């Protein structure tokens, strides 16, 4: 009998050795129901497969339906990957935020880069931040019913009127009430404030932090990040870059609330992204101030973690390690450049037979105010390294590429860049351990 729903989810692949493979579920099949319940999206699927006994209704490509009875361990996965990761359409953001980075991109890039998501499901699956303006009562109810945590929320301002202005959405202030509902249900949250000079800084930032502290301990952390400004802002809300003194003032405020929160709650709670410290010319906080690195994806503690991992990697190297003589190069963004340069120097001081050229790449594509390595393009790397000594290989950070591909933001591919620069390119993961291995050309840190 056909299920009373149109919710059929195409299976893309099945993991070898999984429950699904054992039951002869295959790519091209469709999942119709679990325990006689239609599947709306990934939330339903992940919740319904938790039990130790489930009944799964599958439709084969020829239309035949199989009702499979499955005994398994609690929370054991079936080993199915779906054609659509969300098992539903992605939800588009309907806000017109004054700081939106996508609105500041040039024309002619690939279509996927212009998609603005505001999907709560991506918050749980990928760590994306959502504004809550695109969430219905049904969405909130399901989060509470499934007790999904944590959810990452873009607050920007706790002044409802100011939030409406910043998001260009007259319901943006009212959407903050959903935080109260989530908090009362014990849902864990992380928050973000994109700080815009003369808009939500100063007294407004103080007010926002004070209001957000009321949600402790369910609101575990709040990051404060400076707005990213590209050179493509014609016709957009006039925003100015922060100065060094501005950055120092922001840090003074954040450090004040960190001390207060730690004394009361044992958490530092509010965190400044690495950019503020570099902009202000101040030392990065020690590792303990990051409360376990809750906001790495927002650039909070990335440099400190990298330095800590780098130190660990150095300690793991055998005292008598032999490294062959070699020359290589590293290209990175202007923001992390001082740290990468110092790490490279530490290695070459210990292994003088290794020579490393470290190049900071100016972001001509988006504009010089964009300094992170994750927004570098292949074209800028090519143009600025042409004619420079690069040694036998060029190291690039993994975040310069589209996830799982060899494609830069400007659609230049790694092989094209290798051909243009006439040097092999090695993509290096973001850990300090991987950095040491890549520079020294070794496979393991503790090798003899």
316 and 429 in a single domain? The answer is yes
Q: What share of the chain is helix, strand, coil (3-state, %, to 5)?
A: 35, 20, 45
Domain boundary pick from 255, 270, 299: 299
| Residue 88 belongs to some domain of the structure | no
Q: Does residue 430 sit in the same domain as residue 286?
A: no
313 plus 289 within the same structural domain: no
Q: Which residue has the tokens 């999206």?
A: 41
Residue with structure tokens 């690939």?
A: 110
Residues 348, 278, single domain; the answer is: no
Q: Do 363 and 232 have their domain in common?
A: no
Q: Mark which of 283, 299, 315 sits at the end of a domain.
A: 299
Q: Cα separation of 84 and 90, whole Å?
A: 9
| 448, part of any domain | no
Question: Could you list the pLDDT tens digit for every one of the 448 residues in the chain?
Answer: 333 344 688 999 999 999 999 999 999 999 999 999 888 887 788 888 888 999 999 999 999 999 999 998 988 889 999 887 766 665 666 788 999 888 888 887 776 665 555 444 544 455 578 888 888 888 889 889 888 888 889 999 999 999 999 999 999 999 999 999 999 999 999 999 999 999 999 999 999 999 999 999 999 999 999 999 999 999 999 999 999 999 999 999 999 999 999 999 999 999 999 999 999 999 999 999 999 999 998 889 999 999 999 999 999 999 889 999 999 999 999 999 999 999 999 999 999 999 999 999 999 999 999 999 999 999 999 999 999 999 999 999 999 997 778 999 999 999 999 999 999 999 999 899 999 999 999 988 875 4
The verdict on 273 and 413 lying in the same domain is no
Domain at 60, CATH number: 2.30.42.10
Instruction: For residue 39, give its domain range.
Output: 9-82
Residues 284 and 358 in one domain: no
Task: Report the C-alpha dihedral over residues 442, 329, 402, 193, rounded to 10 degrees.
Answer: 100
* CB within 8 Å of 66: residues ≥ 6 apart: 57, 58, 59, 60
Residues 41 and 114 reside in one and the same domain: no
Q: Is residue 90 part of a domain?
A: no
Please tell me the total count of domains within the chain: 3
Domain membership flag for residue 402: yes
Distance CA(137)–CA(175), nearest Å, equals 11
Q: Where are the alpha helices (DSSP H) in 352-403?
A: 378-385
pTM to 2 decimal places: 0.84
Residue 2 lies in a domain: no
* Radius of gyration from C-alpha coordinates of the chain: 25
For residues 320 and 274, membership in a common domain is answered with no
Helix (H), strand (E) at residue 246: helix 244-265
Instruction: Dig out the tokens for 416 from the structure.
Output: 């094209």
290 and 141 in a common domain: yes
Domain's final residue, options 255, 271, 299: 299
Domain CATH for 322: 3.40.50
Contact 329, 395 (CB under 8 A): yes
Please check whether residue 292 lies inside any domain of the structure: yes
Per-residue model confidence (pLDDT) at position 139: 85
Structure confidence at residue 448 (pLDDT):
47
CATH number at residue 220: 3.80.30
- Domain match, 250 and 346 both: no
**In a shared domain, residues 120 and 237:** yes
267 lies in some domain: yes
Q: Looking at residue 112, what is its pLDDT?
A: 62
């Amino acid at each position: 009998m056909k299920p009373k729903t149109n919710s059929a989810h195409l299976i893309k692949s099945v993991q070898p050795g999984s429950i699904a493979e054992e039951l002869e579920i295959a790519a091209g099949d469709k999942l119709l129901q679990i325990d006689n319940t239609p599947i709306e999206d990934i939330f339903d699927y992940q919740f319904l497969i938790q039990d130790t006994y489930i009944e799964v209704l599958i439709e084969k490509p020829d239309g035949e339906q199989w009702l499979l009875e499955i005994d398994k361990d609690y929370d054991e996965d079936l080993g199915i990957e779906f054609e659509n990761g969300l098992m539903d359409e992605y939800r588009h953001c309907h806000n017109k935020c004054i700081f939106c980075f996508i609105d500041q991109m040039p024309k002619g890039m690939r279509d996927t880069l212009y998609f603005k998501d505001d999907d709560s499901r991506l918050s749980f699956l990928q760590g994306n931040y959502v504004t809550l303006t695109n969430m219905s009562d049904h969405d909130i109810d399901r989060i509470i019913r499934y007790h999904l945590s944590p959810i990452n929320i873009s607050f920007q301002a706790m002044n409802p009127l100011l939030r409406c202005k910043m998001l260009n959405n007259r319901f943006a202030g009212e959407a903050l009430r959903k935080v109260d509902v989530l908090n009362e249900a014990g849902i864990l949250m992380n928050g973000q404030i994109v700080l815009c000079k003369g808009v939500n800084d100063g007294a407004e930032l103080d007010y926002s932090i004070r209001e957000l502290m009321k949600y402790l301990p369910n609101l575990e952390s709040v990051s404060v990040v400076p707005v990213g400004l590209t050179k493509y802002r014609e016709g957009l809300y006039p925003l100015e870059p922060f100065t060094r003194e501005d950055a120092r003032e922001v840090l003074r405020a954040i450090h004040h609330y960190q001390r207060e929160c730690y004394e009361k709650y044992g958490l530092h709670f509010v965190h400044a992204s690495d950019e503020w410290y570099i902009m202000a010319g101040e030392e990065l906080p020690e590792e303990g101030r990051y409360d376990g690195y809750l906001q790495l994806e927002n650039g909070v503690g990335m440099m400190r973690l990298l330095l800590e991992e780098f130190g660990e990697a150095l300690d793991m190297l055998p005292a008598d390690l032999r490294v062959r003589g070699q020359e290589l190069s590293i290209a990175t963004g202007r923001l992390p450049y001082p740290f990468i340069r110092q790490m490279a120097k530490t290695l070459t001081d210990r292994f003088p037979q290794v020579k490393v050229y470290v190049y900071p790449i100016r972001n001509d594509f988006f504009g010089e105010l964009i300094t992170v390595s994750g927004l570098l393009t292949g074209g800028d790397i090519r143009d600025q390294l042409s004619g420079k000594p690069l040694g036998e290989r060029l190291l690039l950070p993994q975040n310069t590429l589209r996830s799982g591909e060899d494609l830069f933001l400007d659609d230049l591919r790694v092989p094209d860049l290798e051909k243009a620069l006439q040097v092999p390119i090695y993509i290096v993961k973001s850990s300090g351990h991987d950095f040491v291995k890549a520079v020294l050309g070794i496979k393991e840190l503790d090798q003899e």
